[in-house]
Structure 1
Amino acid sequence: MATAVELLDAEGIGGLSMRRLADRLGSGAMSLYWHVDNKEKVFDLALDSVLEYREPPQTGEPRNWRGEVVHMLEDWRASMLRHPWSASLLPRRALGPNILGRLELLSKILSRAGVADADLNVAIWSLWNYVMGATVTRASFELSDDDRAVAQQRLTRLSESYPTIERSRLLLDSDWDGAFSRGLDFMLDGFAARQ
């Protein structure tokens, strides 16, 4: 799968074909069909391979539920940012063992933290949507510093209509990691308040 992931990283979803993958592997396209049924299966396997969870190293100290959730979601986001094609594939693919394992572990952590079974699916989908939204936005919102400055100047001229976002200098804020962490804290504060 490493070769398929490399091809997807370099060419995107539209750049992956069985022929191109076979060329990179130095084999014939027909020989790939001995290993995978079709290109869709390659997408499934490649996606699941990049979503493997890398647990934090064991330190011997007890971990709290928030730290575990934050680490897991930051790892998930980082994986998808390293492989931008993954965010667009995830909603429409069969969920493989790595993402299912991640979701199972997340469910167990939240259950141990006191999230009621009746609220567990809402919590999981809320966190899923947060990670997906933050990842897609970050991967697609590429403005240069000059573009940001021009946009902010335009917003300043329109400040009578948009005073709050002009004052907050929204368009100049490029602290994607900080915004993700703080937003996640807001969500987890809500979970903690319900316990």
Structure 2
Amino acid sequence: MASAEDSPLIWARPEPGTRRPKFTRDQIASTALRIADAEGFAAVSMRRIAAELGAGTMTLYYYVRTKDELVALMDDAIMAEVLIPAEEFPANWYDALTEIALRTWDALVRHPWALHSLQGAQAGPNAMRHFEQSLAALAGTGLDAPGKFALISMVDDFVHGNALRSAEMRSTRESAQDGPAGEDDEAFEAAVRFARAQMATGELPHTQALFGDEDPRTAFPRLVGDLPERDRFRQGLSILLDGAATRMNLTPPAH
């Protein structure tokens, strides 16, 4: 009969059982996150983590057997940031889902590389606790199981989609501010000329009415407005939850 140590899932295996283990999975995961946050996910390797911890690379394989297991640890470390302490969990479904969504969005903004690099990670205990909290938020709503799952999925889709778009826009702004002049500037100007030529055909009247002849560098900030991106996210989330409350006959809080 196979023992727990033989499980292909890292979560099903106990941590190394020496009396005083030199490292923990949490240490390994937090080190990997620091590297990814500073230098990108591509910089993360067992060799690099070992160097940061002052250990031999082979020593770490005693704790984490594969790159997939390392990815799972990193994903679960991020999910730990999302969890709401029990004593702070809101009583109303609307407030609870809002807090869960904001914590998730904040975590993804802190670790934007995770949106792409941690896809397909093995769900760990913190990911399961996160889902449990989402279900707990809807426990008193009277929604059936498909309704709960649908609402949780809608919020999750909005959080991840918005975080991805925010990361892309942030990257574009940083490139425009820090990137070298030359080919990038030429490509941008060529794109502007192309867009104006397309609008001049008369086939894009709504786009033409929106932008006119304004330079995109001033048009986009004007259209987006001065609201910080986290506040824009919260505004969109409120619209989504207000619509869900109406469609699903749920009672929002009296704010």
TM-score computed with the length of structure 1 as normaliser: 0.82
Structure 1: which 5+ residue stretches go unaligned?
A: none
The residue correspondences of 1:1-195 to structure 2 (distance < 5 A) are 1-52=29-80, 53-55=82-84, 58=87, 63-142=91-170, 143-144=172-173, 158=199, 160-163=205-208, 165-166=210-211, 171-172=220-221, 173=224, 175-193=228-246, 194-195=248-249
Deviating more after overlay: 81-90 vs 38-47: 81-90
Q: Is the 8 A contact 1:84 1:139 kept in 2?
A: yes
| Matched residue SS, 2:139 | helix
**Matching residue's letter, 1:78:** D
C-alpha distance after superposition, 1:139-192 (max 9, x if no partner): 1212449x69x99x988995844156449x972116321221111112111221
Q: Is the 8 A contact 1:77 1:131 kept in 2?
A: yes
| Matched residue SS, 2:232 | helix
Structure 2: which 5+ residue stretches go unaligned?
A: 1-28, 178-187, 213-217, 250-255
**Matching residue's letter, 2:242:** D
- Give the deviation of 1:118 after TM superposition: 2.3
Q: Is the 8 A contact 1:47 1:89 kept in 2?
A: no
**Matching residue's letter, 2:207:** Y
**Matching residue's letter, 1:176:** E
User: For 1:59 and 1:118, how far apart are their aligned partners in 2?
Assistant: 27
Distance of aligned partners of 1:164 and 1:114 in 2 relative to their CA distance in 1, 3 Å threshold = farther
User: For 1:156 and 1:162, how far apart are their aligned partners in 2?
Assistant: 10
Whose radius of gyration is greater, 1 or 2? 2
| Matched residue SS, 1:84 | coil
Q: Is the 8 A contact 2:109 2:167 kept in 1?
A: yes
C-alpha distance after superposition, 1:50-94 (max 9, x if no partner): 22134268479x732211111111011101111112222343111
User: For 1:164 and 1:112, how far apart are their aligned partners in 2?
Assistant: 47
Q: Is the 8 A contact 2:91 2:137 kept in 1?
A: no
CA RMSD of aligned residues (A): 3.2
Q: Is the 8 A contact 2:92 2:137 kept in 1?
A: no
Distance of aligned partners of 1:57 and 1:112 in 2 relative to their CA distance in 1, 3 Å threshold = closer
TM-score computed with the length of structure 2 as normaliser: 0.65
User: For 1:14 and 1:138, how far apart are their aligned partners in 2?
Assistant: 21
Q: Is the 8 A contact 2:33 2:74 kept in 1?
A: yes
User: For 2:34 and 2:245, how far apart are their aligned partners in 1?
Assistant: 40
**Matching residue's letter, 2:64:** V
| Matched residue SS, 1:113 | coil
Kindly tell me the number of residue pairs found equivalent between the two proteins. Answer: 191
